[in-house]
């Protein structure tokens, strides 16, 4: 249950980010301290960000709610968040942040890694219990 809740939360987050970057990219850019210097740059930002988050949402939906192993879905999300976290830590080692959002995103990424690890552990434990209960 906790795993599905966590996947559902990420699904909502990814869809919201996709819609936000598609229909109000300037607000998203401003929130992270960026600006588009050309119309083409704005379009590329919309395509890359919105398309990526819509794609992630579709993958989550297909994985979590279409009979796939929840452990695989959690592993995929964990890989994604660890990649974001490692990238952010490397970037922070080379550049000082000038927006508070950077540290807020760092906090969120750390929290998601911890929650996903916990959900993975609970999911594995639940699966092991169900295997042993079938043997009885």
- Contact, 11 vs 66, CB < 8 A? no
Range of the domain at 61: 2-135
Rounded to two decimals, the pTM is 0.85
Asked if 45 contacts 25 with a C-beta cutoff of 8 angstroms, the reply is: yes
**19 vs 12: CA distance, rounded Å:** 11
- In sequence order, the 6+-apart residues with CB closer than 8 A to the CB of 14 are 53, 54, 56, 57, 60
**pLDDT(136) > 90:** no
pLDDT tens, residue by residue, 69-93: 888 899 999 999 999 999 999 999 9
Domain count, the chain: 1
**pLDDT one-digit tens code per residue, 27-43:** 999 988 889 999 999 99
What local confidence, expressed as pLDDT, does residue 63 receive?
73
* Backbone φ and ψ of 13, nearest 5°: -60, -45
Q: Which of 17-21, 63-67, 129-133 has the lowest mean pLDDT?
A: 129-133
pLDDT at 130 (0 to 100): 60
């Amino acid at each position: 249950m906790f795993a599905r809740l966590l996947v559902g939360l990420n699904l909502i987050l990814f869809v919201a980010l996709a819609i936000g970057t598609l229909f109000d990219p300037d607000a998203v850019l401003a929130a992270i301290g960026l600006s588009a210097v050309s119309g083409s740059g704005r379009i590329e930002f919309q395509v890359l960000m919105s398309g990526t988050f819509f794609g992630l949402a579709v993958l989550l939906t297909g994985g979590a709610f279409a009979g796939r192993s929840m452990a695989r879905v959690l592993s995929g999300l964990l890989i994604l968040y660890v990649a974001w976290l490692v990238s952010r830590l490397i970037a922070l080692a080379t550049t000082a942040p000038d927006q508070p959002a950077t540290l807020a995103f760092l906090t969120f990424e750390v929290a998601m890694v911890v929650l996903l690890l916990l959900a993975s552990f609970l999911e594995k434990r639940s699966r092991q219990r169900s295997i042993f209960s079938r043997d009885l």
